[in-house]
Amino acid sequence: MSRTGELLRRLQGPTSDQEESALAKRAETSQLWPRFTKAFDAIARAFGEQPPPQGINREFTTFDWNGVDEGIHDHNGFINGRINGIDLQIKLKGTTIDDQQQYAILPDGKWQLQHSRERYVFFKGTFVSADGRKGAVEMQHKNDTWLYKAFWLETRNGFLQLEQVVGPDGVIYDAGKLEQDKKEVTIPGTRTSVTRFKT
């Protein structure tokens, strides 16, 4: 960039991307609230253990597509019950693609077609903590990575207010410091927006 271009950039102020990055930095926090950590751990355990933990009712169904869509599997299910003092009411929806084809650029600059299996699972529902406080959660998982997590907590007027979100890099944000003038919050590092209040 030329010296003149740099001076003009400084006079114009930060770009919207720079402003968003600065806002996200100010909203970063060191840890997830213990209430949300316990809810997440309860969901992960209820989802992952075989057979399901005692007190958990879990059901999954899969629809396998045929013809040109063969290799695509749509999943639906739910997790209900109580585990580690947390009551869960979670719905699951997802897709597995057996042969996801994509090109990769090799170190020598050549392109190579690669095959991979991809699995997306979306979690959405409510929980009640051991102290009786109601909360809500939305999360999306892709293969071995959490793309995002969002947590709400019940307020005095009965609404569920967005409190914390977690981006794909694992960084935790206080939702109250993100896009304060908007009804929806875009989770940093994603294109996913979640509503600030639920009824």
Residue 156: pLDDT above 60? yes
Note whether residue 11 is domain-resident. no
State the residue range of the domain holding 84: 41-195
Cβ pair 29, 37 in contact under 8 A: no
Note whether residue 14 is domain-resident. no
Tokens 């597509």 locate to 65
Note whether residue 7 is domain-resident. no
Q: Does residue 67 or residue 46 have the better pLDDT?
A: 46
Q: Does residue 26 or residue 96 have the better pLDDT?
A: 96
- CA separation for the pair 150, 140 (Å, rounded): 9
Question: Mind listing the pLDDT tens digit for each residue in 169-179?
Answer: 999 999 999 98
Question: Mind listing the pLDDT tens digit for each residue in 27-44?
Answer: 788 799 999 999 999 999
Question: Mind listing the pLDDT tens digit for each residue in 73-98?
Answer: 999 999 999 999 999 999 999 999 88
Cβ pair 111, 104 in contact under 8 A: yes
Mean of all residue pLDDT scores within the chain: 87
Phi, psi of 57 (to 5 degrees): -105, 120
Coil/strand/helix, residue 33: coil
Note whether residue 147 is domain-resident. yes
For the chain, the domain total comes to 1
Strands (E), 39-186: 56-64, 72-83, 86-105, 111-128, 134-142, 145-154, 160-166, 172-174, 184-186
Note whether residue 190 is domain-resident. yes
